[in-house]
Amino acid sequence: MDCGCTNCTCGDNELITSLCPECGSTGNLIPEKAVKANLKKEHNPAVKNVDIFLCPDKECKTSYYSEDNTLKFNLSDLKRPLWYKNNSDPVIACYCNNITESQVIEAVENYELKTWQEIVLHYQEKTLCLCKKINPTGECCTEFFYSIINKTLLSLGKESVNIPGGCTC
Ligand SMILES: [Zn+2]
């Protein structure tokens, strides 16, 4: 079983980090395309020839920032909520295909679907895998997506599925 991605390059991101100017958490360097795809359009011109990082802390209101602190964006500067931040609504499970956490739960509960591909195809005509350009982290959603599937399966008293190794980034 794999995640359905073809030609996946999600694991190619370099691991360069910088501390969040707001909370001090260690954030990873994010591909510029992913930053621009997630920031509201008016902020895109500011992101030029600068390394941008993403705050991983669920309580912090900061999203993207530059190492020299000249740029610091809030959650409200993003087009869609960051799934791991507190009070995100909706909680997005897959950014490439626009699938929410509640849609995943519904697909598992009501249609007995158990894979990323089955669930995306339940709601969309085809699957897209452009994590490096679309996911706010530039990485694949597989791990979070399957954690929702498994949480739901367990709540139904069913056996959990293995998280695919092909694209866990
Ligand atoms: Zn922070």
The pLDDT tens digits along the chain (169 residues) read 345 555 555 555 558 999 999 999 999 999 999 999 999 999 999 999 899 999 999 999 999 999 988 999 999 999 999 999 999 999 999 999 999 999 999 999 999 999 999 999 999 999 998 988 999 999 888 999 999 999 999 999 999 999 886 554 3
CA of 57 to the centre of ligand 1 (A): 6
- Domain-by-domain residue ranges, the chain? 14-77, 92-155
Give me ligand 1 centre to Cα 73, in Å: 10
Rounded Cα distance, 9 and 148, in Å: 23
Of 2.60.40.10, 2.160.10.10, 2.20.25.270, 3.40.640.10, the CATH number of 14-77 is: 2.20.25.270
Q: Kindly give the distance from the C-alpha atom of residue 137 to the centroid of ligand 1, in angstroms, as a whole number.
A: 14
Whole-number pLDDT of residue 13: 54
| pLDDT of the residue at 6 | 54
Ligand 1 centroid – CA 72 distance (Å): 10
CA of 69 to the centre of ligand 1 (A): 12
Can you give the pTM of this predicted structure? 0.86
- Ligand 1 geometric centre to CA of 74 (Å): 10
Q: How far is the CA of 85 from the centre of ligand 1 (A)?
A: 10
Distance 27 CA to ligand 1 centre (A): 8
- Whole-angstrom Cα distance, residue 106 to residue 88? 19
- Cα 65 to ligand 1 centre (Å): 9
d(CA 138, CA 117) in angstroms, rounded, equals 19
